[in-house]
Structure 1
């Protein structure tokens, strides 16, 4: 669960900006839309931002921080951070990112301060019960200095010696959290796992997941039933699997790119491509051979016959809704946190309400 996110001096945010999912006392009458974290603290199930400016940039700030944590940096390249540029006094100042989360019954308070060249500060405090404990605090001034808390590694222990070795090997432009996970530090894995798997940032245009390869029957049934309820005119949806024929589906694609695609697929990659007005997902089948997958929607004709359409021919609203629907299904069975930019873009005005329902409420509408 995301409790709070703080950003300062990034893109359109100059002064410190706080995004909080902690519910105020005024929401006591809406218990179905709250999650009780402790007897004293309730969290919002969903939160919506309105206004003319800053919404997309807040999503981008969270996404930037996630990518920096999960993917790290290259040793020879600067950190691609963008400070507030409308006032020259901020252009040379560092940027700050801070998360307070609750995951696997532990509160994590993690943050860092960076500029283009280095991580100036980084810290992690945890609260497994009632008392906050320091895991580490990092300062970079010429070299990386990391002070380790006794709760992360006891004095004179092999674990502390190992972590001190990891600290010495951390580049000035690399987060210690990222470096520690590359060195397999067990105690930091849950926090990294939260950023990698639980936190899902969904921009406006890209799709959440490749639907074409998610062909298990319960998912297809869920997708078809929801699209019927949403009055899209779709009776059901299906995945079509084909041989990869580059000359047919992607005419003119250079041979070198074909070879790179084949290599990516055979090493477990999934690639989304567009050709001849259709969206395709390229992935390996169970035998490891590249296959091409696309979606078709089925409609009922006035005479009761079934008419098949390529998914790309559906309206922008139907496509946007369909690509977001896996989120609804995942919310029923997981604790993922979704940050969705412009959820209502191209959607019917009533459809976003499904994303704010509790599990019980949603299941009662299914």
Structure 2
């Protein structure tokens, strides 16, 4: 579970920012023992090019470094990062990424600092019994271990082969002994922290999500098919079923002709005979009964719904964190609100999965069925200053109005900032000028 994320010098963010997911209790409401340690949903709102995507991108970049830095960069080639480039000194300053996590009931703090050449610093602490304990600290190529780090001899050997461009957490995960899930009775901070990043996987597209159905060897393919049908029927998009059929559109008889095509051809023929290729189609209710259409025949909104629905089902089943940029793209606000509500439901989300998304849709700041779609402590804004640097701040910085708070209207009126500063005159003038030049050319 993510408690907070801090980062600095990443794309449009120059100064250090913090996305704090700790609940904010107000109006006389006090936390209880059963209350979650962090909010399950965070929505980030702002104008176009304000830096919303860069906020999520910073966390995604940190995840990519943790999962793959030990093998993604060739020695001597440096690191590929994206610092704040509007300031001439921005590229020379290091970038910093830090997360606070709740893993197995214990708080962990992990972070690193990098420049274009190498990892400058890296550290991991955990807090059993509420006291900070060092797991490891890294300063360049020098490492320091905590008293509870366990096999420090083994860790020292792994540190010795950790490349300057690789994170130690990535390297130790490759050579250590990982396990499927945290064990509160036997905490392993290194592997538990790595596992959190590994599960926070990037969003897949509809085609890759539906590939589970096409894999005849997958034991859960039928379960996923029922999920897809239920999801589409609940969304009322006109689809009444999902059909899997043999796919012979790519058959190539030439490579089935035995020894004359070589060993590779025989292997492909044997695999095709064992697991015949399949094709997924969607049954739409028509005037004369169901009609079958392919995935590419579906609307953009239907494909987006499948993308988010399948990915959300996977995340909710693992207790992971889901990142979505522009959650409202091609989706009706009611569908978006229902997707958000899944993560706020204890029944649908018993493992405490989290959803962090960006959006332009001010309707998500309002209510649905007399219930708030997002609470005050689940709403954040991004805004750029006159120097082009983005800043991140929460709605809780603003005091609610005594007579009631219409957040959607107040946001669109600019009361919270993070809206476009649009010049209607210049906007109309630019379009009118363009049209005039085209008319003159035509004459």
TM-score tier (shorter) = 0.7 to 0.9
Between Structure 1 and Structure 2, the one with more strand by share is 1
Q: Which residue of 1 aligns with 2:21?
A: 21
Q: Which residue of 1 aligns with 2:326?
A: 342
The alignment status of 1:51 with 2:36, answered yes or no, reads no
Q: Which residue of 2 aligns with 1:273?
A: none
Give the unaligned 5+ runs of structure 1: 154-158, 249-258, 267-283
Alignment of 1:1-366 (within 5 A): 1-26=1-26, 42-52=37-47, 53-72=50-69, 73-140=73-140, 144-153=141-150, 159-184=151-176, 187=188, 188-197=190-199, 199-202=200-203, 206-207=205-206, 209-214=208-213, 216-242=221-247, 245=250, 287=274, 292-303=277-288, 305-357=289-341, 358-359=344-345
TM-score with structure 1 setting the length: 0.77
Give the unaligned 5+ runs of structure 2: 179-187, 214-219, 254-263, 350-443
**Deviation sequence 1:159-207 (CA, Å, 0-9, x none):** 222222222222211111111122215632221111112x13338xx45
Larger Rg, first or second structure (1 or 2): 2
Q: Distance in 2 between matches of 1:228 and 1:163?
A: 52
Q: Retained in 2: the 8 A contact 1:23–1:44?
A: yes
Q: Retained in 2: the 8 A contact 1:212–1:293?
A: no
Aligned residues between the structures:
313
Runs of 4+ in structure 1 off by over 6 angstroms are none
**Deviation sequence 1:270-309 (CA, Å, 0-9, x none):** xxxxxxxxxxxxxx8895x6x6444311011124x11101
Q: Distance in 2 between matches of 1:332 and 1:41?
A: 16
**Deviation sequence 1:88-139 (CA, Å, 0-9, x none):** 1211001001111112222210000001111000000012332221001100
- Coordinate RMSD, CA, aligned: 3.0
Q: Distance in 1 between matches of 2:95 and 2:104?
A: 29
Q: Distance in 1 between matches of 2:163 and 2:312?
A: 40
Q: Distance in 1 between matches of 2:42 and 2:273?
A: 40
Q: Retained in 1: the 8 A contact 2:206–2:303?
A: no
**Deviation sequence 1:303-341 (CA, Å, 0-9, x none):** 4x1110111111101101111112332355331110111
